[in-house]
Amino acid sequence: MPDALLLLASAPDPRVEPFVGAIEWSFDPFVLAGVLIASFLCGSVPFGLLIGRLHGIDLRSVGSGNIGATNLGRALGRPWGIACFVLDALKGALPVLGFGLWADLWGIPLADAAAGPTTAWVTVAAAAILGHVFCPWLGFKGGKGVATGFGSMAAMWPLLTLPMLGALLGWVILIAISRYVSLASVVAAFVPPAVILIQSFDVDFWPPRAAPPLLFVTTLIALLVLLRHRTNVARLLAGTEPRIGRRPLP
């Protein structure tokens, strides 16, 4: 355990057996602030734009103008879109995974997780997503946060890994049915808070201490994804949203 984190044993809960996750902890706020800044900057790397520039194009002036994987895939082909998705997911996962291992949070299940550490951890994930959505290198304009959101939250093993796998499954199913990436992304964004709520009923007490911050942050992220897709939603309603394999209408 790093010196910056001081773990203090909490009062025993008569409803559950003692466990390693049943702890309250304090930390140096400056250390946490540094971690959040580092996570934000890691999430801000615009891989889609960089890949596009390597091929002589500026994604901001191509197709939908978005710097994410979907627009890159339309501009350069599906393999490059997939590569961008993986890179955007990794830039979200790395700071979250690193913090979880450093703070000894990785592997603690929902029923055993304490609120304070979980809040700090999910905030690190949110910082990476915000770095992608509000990229400081591009005038605080960035992508829509889907791939980075998936990577950052899936790295919170096991708290958000199962909900994010559920979101991925829902995304794949909706893509197969509708061929609309935007529709699948928006619906999938709301799967994690729903799964967390369902999972919470499987424990011996209500609510688990870690559930409220997870529900709060994942719901905010889902609303952010919806907000970033507002033009796509408008096109869906108008019947002009492009499906996979088709370029956007002018």
pLDDT tens-place values along the chain, 250 residues long: 444 443 333 334 433 333 333 334 556 788 899 999 999 999 999 999 999 999 999 999 998 889 999 999 989 999 999 999 999 999 999 999 999 999 999 999 888 888 889 999 999 999 999 999 999 999 999 999 999 999 999 999 999 998 999 999 999 999 999 999 999 999 999 999 999 888 877 656 566 788 889 999 999 999 999 999 999 999 999 999 988 865 544 4
* Helix, strand, or coil (residue 232): helix
Output the six-digit token pair for 213: 């911050």
State the pLDDT at residue 16. 38
Angle at CA of residue 115, ends 212 and 111, nearest 5°: 80
State the pLDDT at residue 208. 73
Output the CA torsion 246→229→180→127 (10° steps): 110
Residue 215 domain flag:
yes
The Cα–Cα gap between 213 and 163 comes to 15
Angle at CA of residue 160, ends 156 and 163, nearest 5°: 150
Residue 51 domain flag:
yes
| H or E, element range at 164 | helix 161-178
Q: Which residues contact 198 (CB under 8 A, 6 or more apart)?
A: none
State the pLDDT at residue 15. 38
State the pLDDT at residue 27. 66
Residue 178 domain flag:
yes
Residue 11 domain flag:
no
Residue 4 domain flag:
no
| Domain enclosing residue 32, as ranges | 27-238
Residue 109 domain flag:
yes
- Count of alpha carbons within 13 angstroms of residue 218, beta-carbon side: 29
Residue for token pair 């049915």? 177
State the pLDDT at residue 207. 61
Is residue 128 a contact partner of residue 92, using CB atoms and an 8 Å limit? yes
Output the six-digit token pair for 250: 């002018």
How many domains, in total, are found in the chain?
1
Residue 9 domain flag:
no
The Cα–Cα gap between 1 and 201 comes to 31
Amino acid at site 1: M
3-state percent helix, strand, coil for the chain, nearest multiple of 5: 65, 5, 35
- 63 burial type by CB count under 10 A (0-12 exposed, 13-18 middle, 19+ buried): middle
Q: What size, in residues, is the chain?
A: 250
Residue 250 domain flag:
no
State the pLDDT at residue 210. 85
CA distances from 61 to 13, 29, 53, 72, 234 (A): 57, 41, 12, 11, 20
Is residue 96 a contact partner of residue 155, using CB atoms and an 8 Å limit? yes
